[in-house]
Structure 1
Amino acid sequence: MAGNRGTIRGASNFNANEDAQKLRKAMKGLGTDEDAIIDILVNRNLSQRQEIKMTYKATIGRDLMNDLKSELGGKFEKVLLALMTPITLYDVEELKRAMKGAGTDEGCLIEILASRTNEEIRRINETYKHQYGTTLEEDIVSDTSSMFRRVLVSLATGNRDESNYVDESQAKQDAECLYEAGEKRWGTDEAQFMTVLCTRNRNHLLRVFDEYRKIADKDITESIKSEMSGDLEDALLAIVKCMRSRTAYFAERLYKSMKGIGTDDDTLIRLMVSRCEIDMIDIKADFKRMYGKSLYSFIKGDTSGDYRKVLLHLCGGDD
């Protein structure tokens, strides 16, 4: 899953057996050599980490994930276990975590479902059913309500048009429909917003947003903020932001996870781990452009200990 815009690359002199033995040595006996564990796991890409996991079991006869759980703790354990998890399975586990128990992490549901491609969503659906014996849609329906539920269900079908075709007359018509569904009337036809934003392709939506500004004399995001509220507002804004720039959307999510009192570690870990081999270089550039400070310096000032060491490495340096 490694992409050329990631900060984590595979080790060129990779030896899974050697890494497995070093990891066992770092966790055997009294005390744990955290630095040795970090040095190995953050300097390998996901496919290499999967190979280490299999080799560890084959040569040592123990489960690496279980050993990490027993030796580590807290946020440090959480970020390393996330790194060891295949990307689709990690998305699935995060979606399940967002819906289980009391309360729902709506931000996590929105972030994953609004930003993944059709193919990624299809893999998520298959893996989710395999892992939990229930469908993602069933869990969304039982855990959310009203129009927010409908938006998530629509996104979870993974059925957005992904062509590049732009129908100019349709774009104008969509913009007019959105205007009439919100700004032009008393009350809001939320279903109209859902239909357009959840199904049209990216290039088409960018034209719709341009046309909307001409008609309404304001940006589509301003109208969503004034017409919607709560989780529905957050979901529709996330879709618009992802269509314009997915990496800028992720940069904003990272910033919000660290600003103010306390850190949203779930969001911070998920974004750093899930994007470090895909587009973290671009996310970092957007972060600096948007906030005037590097992502690296934000993480450094907002985290501590071994947890910080891992995140800073995933960040790929201070630039």
Structure 2
Amino acid sequence: MAWWKAWVEQEGIAVKGSSHFNLDPDAETLYKAMKGIGTNEQAITDILTKRSNVQRQEIAKSFKAQFGKDLTETLKSELSGNFERLMVALMYPPYRYEAKEMYDAMKGLGTKEGVIIEILASRTKNQLREIMKAYEEDFGSKLEEDIQADTSGYLERILVCLLQGSRDDVSGFVDPALALQDAQDLFAAGEKIHGTDEMKFITILTTRSATHLMRVFEEYEKIANKSIEDSIKSETHGSLEEVMLTVVKCTQNLHSYFAERLYYAMKGAGTRDGTLIRNIVSRSEIDLNLIKGQFKKMYGQSLSSKIAEDTSGDYRNALLNLVGSEL
């Protein structure tokens, strides 16, 4: 069924780039759009949201060769607000972008733990390896050491365990006896005792494959008469609860998890634009179309209609271009 997997992966990609790609004219159009007084935001949107990331990197090289300027820095100087933030995000190679998001989440006062949790719990071990490499190259320090410096206790431990990439994300093999044992161990570490053995939860959630964990969660519900999510909510709190629940959600349905992230980024007063931008940009060439399908199923409206309601101007137009049409 390799052909089916490849077809699904291809169908998930929302931004496939231009089939008639010509980098030099694209670079020239961008230069003219930002030259002199005023900026042609529509021209910038039309090019950067309709090219793949690889194509954008080629355009940046042509821009530098033709005009002697760094395209990303030019965008920063000519644009502003969320539109600038989105266009600049599109210019980063994927792993460098995610490394930057991790760095930004930890620098300065306070830590945006939600960003770190989202990235570490939802990426494959190969993706995490590339993010760590990009982080060290771009910021001169090890991601693991920075996480350890910025967090503490069980939260630090589970984040470091996730970063190790010990989970088997390829094999679909499940050992029923081990799954039952894991479920019994989780029950013994939480519901069965006064207090919680957090390390038992951390070890199982961060080292078992998704297919194995799905079986563990089924067995757990039979033993505990409640879902693993309900037990995590009653046994933990704060950021540790958030990261454990995120691992469970990503295990059960990764596309539903991202649909939920996008929905809550736009729910209520104000829009959490960082979350909105990061998830649309980072999933646009992976599985954004599949996330769109889950969004419609879960919330009864299309992702594009929700974006149209909650954003405005050039920023909205660019987001809608990336999301693409929805039937």
TM-score normalised per structure 1: 0.98
Are the equivalent residues in 2 in contact too, given 1:171–1:205 (CA < 8 A)?
yes
Distance 1:307 1:189 in 2: 46
Amino acid aligned to 1:139 = D
1:251 aligns to 2:259 (yes or no): yes
C-alpha displacement of 1:3: 4.5
- The answer for the alignment partner of 2:179 in structure 1 is 171
Amino acid aligned to 1:106 = E
Residues 243-301 of structure 1, C-alpha deviations (whole Å, 9 max, x = no match): 11111000001111110111111100000100011101110111111111111111111
- The answer for the alignment partner of 1:69 in structure 2 is 76
1:238 aligns to 2:246 (yes or no): yes
* Candidates 145, 149, 166, aligned match of 2:152: 145
- The answer for the alignment partner of 1:56 in structure 2 is 63
- The answer for the alignment partner of 1:112 in structure 2 is 119
Structure 1: 5+ residue runs without aligned partners? none
- The answer for the alignment partner of 1:295 in structure 2 is 303
Distance 1:171 1:63 in 2: 53
- The answer for the alignment partner of 1:121 in structure 2 is 128
- The answer for the alignment partner of 1:193 in structure 2 is 201
Are the equivalent residues in 2 in contact too, given 1:4–1:278 (CA < 8 A)?
no
Percent sequence identity over matched residues? 53
Please provide the CA RMSD for this pair: 1.0
TM-score normalised per structure 2: 0.96
Please, which moves more after superposition, 196-205 or 152-161? 152-161
C-alpha displacement of 1:161: 2.2
- The answer for the alignment partner of 2:188 in structure 1 is 180
- The answer for the alignment partner of 2:5 in structure 1 is none
Amino acid aligned to 1:150 = R
- The answer for the alignment partner of 2:22 in structure 1 is 15
Residues 8-46 of structure 1, C-alpha deviations (whole Å, 9 max, x = no match): 111011100000000001111110010011011111111
Are the equivalent residues in 2 in contact too, given 1:8–1:43 (CA < 8 A)?
yes
Structure 2: 5+ residue runs without aligned partners? 1-8
- The answer for the alignment partner of 1:221 in structure 2 is 229
Amino acid aligned to 2:326 = D
Determine helix, strand or coil for the equivalent of 1:104: coil
Residues 196-242 of structure 1, C-alpha deviations (whole Å, 9 max, x = no match): 00000111101001100110111111111111100000000000100
Amino acid aligned to 1:80 = M
Distance 1:17 1:310 in 2: 22
Determine helix, strand or coil for the equivalent of 1:231: helix
Amino acid aligned to 1:5 = G
Distance 2:202 2:10 in 1: 31
Are the equivalent residues in 1 in contact too, given 2:24–2:63 (CA < 8 A)?
yes
- The answer for the alignment partner of 2:276 in structure 1 is 268
Are the equivalent residues in 2 in contact too, given 1:16–1:52 (CA < 8 A)?
yes
- The answer for the alignment partner of 2:4 in structure 1 is none
Amino acid aligned to 2:203 = T
Amino acid aligned to 1:95 = M
- The answer for the alignment partner of 1:43 in structure 2 is 50
C-alpha displacement of 1:4: 3.8
Determine helix, strand or coil for the equivalent of 1:102: coil
C-alpha displacement of 1:125: 1.0
Distance 1:136 1:3 in 2: 31
Determine helix, strand or coil for the equivalent of 2:111: coil
